[in-house]
Structure 1
Amino acid sequence: MAPTRRSSSKKERRQESEKLILSAAEKVFAEAGFGGATMQLIADVAGLPKANLHYYFPTKESLYRQVVQNIFQIWLQAADIFDAADGPAEGIGAYIDAKMEISRRHPEGSKVWASEVMHGAPVIQDYLETTLMEWTAGRADVIRRWIDEGRMDPVDPDHLLYMLWATTQHYADFGHQIETLNGGAPLSDDQWEAAKASVKQIILRGIGALD
């Protein structure tokens, strides 16, 4: 049993180190961008030797791509309810709730994604042309089905998705602006719940998904 415990402990230490590195990298990439970030700076923020970073992530690009992939995977998981929902009110409503909660809890990851795309996606263009394109096409098919079933107004699925992304991710990407307009304080729990309710009401009524 001892070797098993040692093996488990080693695995846990590895996972903890990777988590620490990714958290630091997310923060540094969000603040400095890919070009301004360095492996040394990320190591300093993580509180680890630079050699540790290169052990887990050989290059800055490999670390950056992992940060981007992580936030996208979190977004994909948020859309699971989208596919299984009975209709747009339930599916899109739950998607809005989940995406806004992600903006609340993972703002740095969202900022990294936004900065990358605004700069023409020099590192992850291949990801946009494959994973994102396939995901978007699948969700657009679900929206078209709801439209055909008369559950919502006939709107362009792509533009609806763009609006959902822009609205929910605004709370992460422009968090400082929101805090400033909120008297210099982050949104409270009650304010977050009110924001989710408002966004759902505006969008779902706008597409005819609510009575």
Structure 2
Amino acid sequence: MLFTHDTLAAIASGEVDLAFRRWLRPAVRTGTALRTAIGVVTVGEVTAVPESAVSDRDARRAGYGTRAELLAALRPGGDRTLYRVGVRLTGEDPRAALREDTCLSDAELAEIAAALGRMDAHGGRGPWTTATLDLIGAHPAVRAADLAARLDRDTPRFKADVRKLKEHGLTESLGTGYRLSPRGRLLLDHLTAGPGHEEQDPGGA
């Protein structure tokens, strides 16, 4: 369940506490914790509702001016059910603290590097983790589609890869694109200082 940056800001301020989605089946359930750019957003009650039950007040609570605007913005589809979803900010994203943690010993850095190595091995694409970190480090705040093209990777796959690195606190999302976190920069310096690594532009520029 994704939100725009404007909607996330409104959730953080308390202006928005509802969301409406058309789904074949509910994508979230009550109590689901969503990690977002503003922190953890927890899902409240998830209820199937007819369009006729949506009011202008509901629309405003979901970040729209009117009921008509809200309904027009929803995904169309007669085979989909409309759901009313409660949302609220409940805490900081634990990855935020992880991103800032640079008090790492060589052994701890080696442990993270080993985890990335296992991800590389399971991916069947060679050392994609370091290549992706290199690319984001060299090109912060660049659209994901443009970064993906530099690695000859499709955009959804590239975004999924970046999310895996984010789980280790190595990258963070921006309004457009990404950047390395302090932890990610430290790890990349550790990796590129190793024997046999040659400095190069991962984008081929």
Q: Which has the higher helix share?
A: 1
Q: TM-score, normalised by structure 1?
A: 0.24
More strand by share: 2
TM-score of the superposed pair, with normalisation by structure 2: 0.24
